[in-house]
């Protein structure tokens, strides 16, 4: 059996660990062969692949990024995109495909599965926002980076008696801001799921400064003020219709500074959250997902995604995976305990 492997969408630490696991398990346990598809769905359309063996994946466990490359190419938005992917699949001589991605990449996988392609999904995204799995590959490393940044901001905030605002990724879901913020000891956390009231935020900061001289605010890039709109960079959209976000921290810096009179500074963590060596937790999750994906392929089970449920690896239909999983009240209520 010959399996193609692709990685699509925004990269994250742990992709290489997942690729390695699929290949090592597939070769050793099931005698499979592998083709690495370059740059996500772009490589499927262009039949752009290369042979991957045990040697190719040797030493990549600890490396961030993806040895396969990634893109945000969306065949479902192209004329004959589905046919082109199937053509590419046949040209590459594949029997099945492992797609490692977030909601966009796996959304395409779900569409391709409906068109008859044998595909298995592995969930990854630093955003941790895929329904059907409690964790995605990349999230653990991202929040560990966020916590490191908050720790650093704490010391300089304290020295200069400032309000420090840290903007993190999270377009529709505030998992990075909420869990990173809780673990880093943030004083205010603003997320897309909970439109915020700027007056209330400023009131809370002023009250805090009656006993403390600094404040750490963590804000997700997709957070919005009540009645306001999301902060976008330049209005450009990718092939999945997403605008580039970023800059809400700069807006907050001005508003909070003017309204409270405290010195305020903003930092945007950006793609630093997507880089670096994966944490042990991400390596383990990617490895478990990869080994399971190879097993499922050997059992001819397709149209599904591997997922984490109650610390067990299970499978769910690809269709159920591609909806957003947002931060629920149980998490935000924990975060709020530490506000102010």
Paired with 312 in beta bridges are 309
For ligand F6P, the closer CB: 168 or 202: 168
For ligand F6P, the closer CB: 232 or 260: 232
DSSP 86-142: HHHHHHTT-SEEEEEESHHHHHHHHHHHHTT--EEEEEB-TT--BTT-S--BTHHHH
Per CB under 6 A, 14 contacts ligand F6P: no
Per CB under 6 A, 178 contacts ligand F6P: no
For residue 120, the tally of other CB atoms under 10 A from its CB is 28
Q: Tell the burial category of 146 from Cβ atoms under 10 Å away from its Cβ (0-12, 13-18, 19+).
A: buried
Per CB under 6 A, 126 contacts ligand F6P: yes
Q: Which of 39, 104, 127, 282 is catalytic?
A: 127
Per CB under 6 A, 292 contacts ligand F6P: no
Per CB under 6 A, 106 contacts ligand F6P: no
For ligand F6P, the closer CB: 82 or 326: 326
Q: Of 170, 180, 192, 290, which lies in the binding site for ligand F6P, with binding defined by CB under 6 A?
A: 170
User: Which is nearest to 219 in space by CA: 255, 258, 261, 262?
Assistant: 255
Active site residue 282: no
State the number of binding residues for ligand F6P (CB under 6 A).
12
Per CB under 6 A, 266 contacts ligand F6P: no
Q: Of 4, 88, 102, 111, which lies in the binding site for ligand F6P, with binding defined by CB under 6 A?
A: 102
List alpha helices for the chain, DSSP H. 15-30, 41-45, 81-91, 103-114, 139-160, 175-184, 198-208, 248-260, 280-298, 318-321, 329-337
User: Which residues participate in catalysis according to the annotation?
Assistant: 127
The residues that touch ligand F6P, with contacts defined as CB under 6 A, are 9-10, 102, 125-127, 169-171, 221, 245, 274
């Amino acid at each position: 059996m010959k399996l193609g492997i692709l990685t699509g969408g925004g990269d994250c630490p742990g992709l290489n660990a997942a690729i390695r696991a699929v290949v090592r398990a597939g070769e050793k346990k099931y005698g499979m062969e592998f083709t690495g598809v370059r740059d996500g769905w772009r490589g499927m359309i262009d039949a752009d692949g290369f042979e991957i063996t045990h040697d190719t994946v040797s030493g990549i466990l600890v490396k961030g990024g993806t040895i396969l490359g990634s893109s945000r190419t969306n065949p479902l938005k192209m004329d004959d995109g589905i046919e082109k992917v199937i053509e590419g699949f046949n040209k590459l001589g594949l029997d099945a495909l492992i797609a490692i991605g977030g909601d966009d990449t796996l959304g395409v996988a779900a569409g391709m599965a409906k068109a008859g392609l044998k595909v298995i999904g592995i969930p990854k995204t630093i955003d941790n926002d895929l329904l059907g799995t409690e964790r995605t590959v990349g999230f653990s490393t991202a929040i560990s980076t966020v916590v490191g940044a908050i720790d650093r901001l704490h010391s300089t905030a304290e020295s200069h008696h400032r309000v420090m605002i840290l903007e993190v990724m999270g377009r529709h879901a505030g998992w990075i801001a909420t869990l990173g913020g809780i673990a880093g000891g943030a004083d205010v956390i603003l997320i897309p799921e909970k439109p915020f009231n700027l007056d209330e935020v400023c009131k809370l900061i002023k009250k805090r400064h009656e006993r403390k001289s600094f404040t750490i605010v963590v804000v997700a890039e997709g957070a919005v003020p009540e009645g306001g709109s999301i902060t976008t960079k330049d209005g450009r959209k990718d092939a999945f219709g997403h605008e580039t976000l970023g800059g809400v921290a700069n807006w907050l810096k001005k508003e909070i500074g003017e309204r409270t009179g405290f010195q305020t500074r903003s930092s945007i963590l950006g793609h630093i959250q997507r880089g670096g060596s994966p944490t042990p937790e991400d390596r383990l999750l990617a490895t478990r997902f990869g080994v399971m994906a190879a097993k499922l392929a050997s059992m001819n089970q397709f149209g599904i995604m591997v997922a984490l449920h109650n610390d067990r690896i299970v499978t769910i239909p690809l269709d159920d995976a591609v909806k957003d999983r947002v931060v629920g009240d149980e998490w935000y209520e924990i975060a709020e305990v530490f506000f102010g």
